[in-house]
Chains A and B, each alone.
Chain A
């Protein structure tokens, strides 16, 4: 759950074109120093990070919806409690990220309003429906698996608050992927009907999961500057390859078939060759035409509007009494 396409401001500058401040800033990044909120930073760095962290945070928040959908219908009380804990984690992850973005001078309300107006994006994956319980397994296994692939390197990102948020998130995220795989194992080892459901979930989520890494490097116009600034660590294609190499054996273990006839082991590169996802579909979903775009945004808008009187009431109450609790 993270940023997929972040429009960057400005193109990659050569050393000679940098102002002394910009050159000093780049030196700090090259030396592996963390940039903190009060440090000088180029305006493009600030803007790109707000977009990227904001998009990442929005993905966590909107990402609660496809799974929240199944909390009341989990097959056992234990699975229900586990799914609830996972969805609660995602709320937490959204909050860590929003707070990191806020250190760059954007307010929480601005971030929320930009999500609700469609100005800011969230990951395309959450615009696909979760039709049955097997989808909870596929989402945890594949979607969280893809998210982890992207988030682990981001722990080393140059912006201190973002890096710290990523470290916390990564610590918590592997529970998510394991709980998904646990569901898949149960279903893949179950009755024929359950096996068919598991295979069907894999069929539907495989290519949308590959899309989570963003467009192919040759079409990814925003990467160079982000990589120089270390707000992006690996290219989209590198991470996608890594994800496929890691996930195919996991599917084999489950006895499921990855829905890609072009999938073959390439001895020479020590990885799998695989088919590209349908990029036309990807851009179409980003533009708002996926199966669930309208539902997802409607749900967020409803939550925001229905909660307005609570937010206002609590604020008015707090202003009236303003208690001070002494530190322990």
Chain B
């Protein structure tokens, strides 16, 4: 069994009501240490008010080769954007 500390992915939420955002990764023996290390590595300049850590092995990711089937269908659905519809100026703000 490898003695290397597992890899953790770090997510930080900043001060202004934004979502947690992936900022990087680090090694730690357990979750508690991962949070402490994340504090030292990723929030040295007030970058955040909340930290999530998750072991990298627990993350499933989409494959780059699936890019087409996954995202192309939305390209043809331009009506999902408000600018698709012409509303006369007389109607006022909408």
Contact = CB atoms under 8 A, between A and B. Distances in A.
Interface of A: 36, 38-40, 85, 88-89, 92, 95-96, 99, 102, 107-109, 164-165, 168, 172, 311-312, 314-315, 317-318, 321-325, 327-328
Interface of B: 2-5, 7, 24-27, 29-33, 35, 40-41, 44-45, 50, 52, 61, 63-64
B interface, over-half SS: mixed
A38 B45 CA distance: 31
Which 9 A-B pairs rank lowest in CB-CB distance, beginning with the nearest?
A318-B30, A314-B29, A318-B29, A99-B25, A109-B4, A39-B64, A315-B29, A92-B41, A325-B31
B27 A108 contact: yes
A95 B45 contact: no
A315 B5 contact: yes
Contacts of A311: 3, 5, 29
B45 A96 contact: no
A172 B44 CA distance: 10
Contacts of A108: 4, 27
Contacts, number: 61
A323 B5 contact: no
A36 B64 contact: yes
Contacts of A36: 64
A38 B32 contact: no
B6 to A, nearest CB: 9
B42 to A, nearest CB: 8
A107 B32 CA distance: 22
